[in-house]
Amino acid sequence: MFDNMSATTTVAIPERTSSSRTALLTVLFIGFILSGIATTIVGPMLPVFIRRWGLDDGQAGLFPSIQFLAALVGTGVSGAWMAWRGYRPSLVAGYALMGFGLATLNASTHVNALAAAAALGLGYGLITPGTNLYVAEAGGARSASLLNLLNFAWGAGAMACSPLIALALRNSRLTSLLIGYAIFGALLALALLFARFGTEKHERAIDTSGATPLLVGRGVTIALATLFFMYVGMETSIGVWSAEYSRRVANGISNTTTLAPMFFYAGLTAGRGLAPLFLLSLSEGSLVLGTLSLTAIGTTVLIFSTTLKIAIAGVFLAGLGCASIYPIYIAWLSKWYGARAKRIGGFLFALASLGGSAGPWLVGTFSKYSGSLRVGFLVPLLSALLMICIVVSLRRQTSQ
């Protein structure tokens, strides 16, 4: 099976001391906490925007769509920047843009709020490829575990986002909270501006297993690209729309409905914290199939929920299922392509951003024309089921 296969790959090895690398990894992990906040903040803010400007579901769906279309641009720029100048420029610019977007998100006009969402997405697109690829390289043969921990940090930020927004709204401190986030972004940009990234050597071979190299064909590349696209669309759809869906189940905004995304990201964060332990006894492919199945079950529970408690349970199960899927996809990218992962990764991360834009928009569009947000949630459910089929097919294609 492909997930048990290790290969002799070529990767770029940075010349840096162990202490400087550890310091850089620490900054990147802390930065991903803010990334989790910035990427998911539109979800708990969506009911506020809908009420403030009287938006329908199609109009509301523009917020995450614009955010992830901007992320698509960011990933393209990031890939070019990494090839030309290394990791630093895109990471510094990304956190600066995130800070700007967070500071201006609570705008008085619809257009300015959309512009802030675009800035958040552009920042996310700039930082995500470089951060994930650097950590994957640093992790070596255990890259899947280290990437799960990195994305655990992202999940911690995402999980904290909803309760902090709810608290800020209750105490009329939303602007102050967003400015605090913006300062956090500025400090991260400053730290990365002066961080020691080191100079990369030319590629050299690293034997990660001693096993026969995996020959990555066009079919595997297309399948992996499809998985990147569909996963981010699925995760973003559930995270963005869970607060509004919960509001409709409860027939009004409450603290619990605003906190609905927190339960999704609580499941996601818990799963990413536990994933390295499961990977000690399970293959990566088996874990992905299990977690995709759990996401499908959670989304089904959400669709058929009739009370707020059942809806929250479905949201949590879906988040728990989503936990380890994306980090393992990234680990496969690094493992299968080696030094080429930087070039191919830019394309795959761009597709992921496109999925993040398309998924929530499709949910809103299906909801608008069917008159039911439950119908809209068929989009992430079908995504989970299709990904199961693709992963099963990948195992067959790459088995020996």
Q: Residue 375: which H helix or E strand, with range?
A: helix 373-376
Per-residue pLDDT, 32? 94
Question: What was the pLDDT predicted at 5?
Answer: 38
Number of H helices, E strands in the chain: 17, 4
Percentage above 90 pLDDT, the chain: 42
- Give the least confident one: 64-68, 113-117, 312-316, 380-384: 64-68
Q: At 113, which CATH number? A: 1.20.1250.20
Q: State the pairing for strand pair 199-200/8-11.
A: unpaired
CA 228 distance to own-chain centroid? 10
Cβ–Cβ < 8 Å for 70, 119: yes
Print the domain residue range for 315: 2-398
Give the pLDDT mean for 146-152.
84
pTM of the model: 0.72
| Structure confidence at residue 254 (pLDDT) | 65
Mean pLDDT on 328-332:
87
As a whole number of angstroms, the distance between CA 248 and CA 33 comes to 29
pLDDT for res 204: 42
| 71 in Cβ contact with 122 (< 8 Å) | yes
Average predicted confidence (pLDDT) for the chain? 84
Under 8 Å between Cβ of 291 and 324:
yes
* pLDDT value for 43: 84
Q: Is the pLDDT of residue 377 over 50?
A: yes
Whole-number Å distance between alpha carbons of 240 and 242: 6
User: Which has the minimum average pLDDT: 18-22, 112-116, 264-268, 276-280?
Assistant: 18-22
Q: Decide if pLDDT at 71 tops 70.
A: yes
Cβ neighbours of residue 314 under 8 Å, at least 6 residues apart? 298, 299, 300, 301, 302, 303, 305
Mean pLDDT, residues 58-65: 87
- Whether the pLDDT of residue 399 is over 80: the answer is no
pLDDT of 20: 74
Helix axes 218-250, 260-278, angle to 10 degrees: 140
Average pLDDT over residues 277-283: 86
In this predicted structure, the answer to whether residue 29 has a pLDDT above a threshold of 70 is yes
Cα gap 397→380, rounded to integer Å: 25
Q: Which long-range contacts (CB under 8 A, 24 or more apart) does 15-24 make?
A: 15/198, 15/199, 15/200, 15/201, 16/196, 16/197, 16/198, 20/196, 20/198, 21/138, 21/198, 23/195, 23/196, 24/134, 24/195, 24/196, 24/197
Residue 338's pLDDT is 72
pLDDT-wise least confident of 22-26, 104-108, 155-159, 332-336: 332-336
Query: What are 333's two structure tokens?
Result: 């990218």
Residue 215 pLDDT grade (very low, low, confident, very high; cuts 50, 70, 90): low
Is the pLDDT higher at 259 or at 189?
189
Number of domains in the chain: 1
Residue whose pair of structure tokens reads 């609580």 in the numeric block: 266
Tens digits of per-residue pLDDT, 76-117?
A: 888 788 777 778 889 999 999 999 999 999 998 999 999 999
Does 1 have pLDDT greater than 50? no
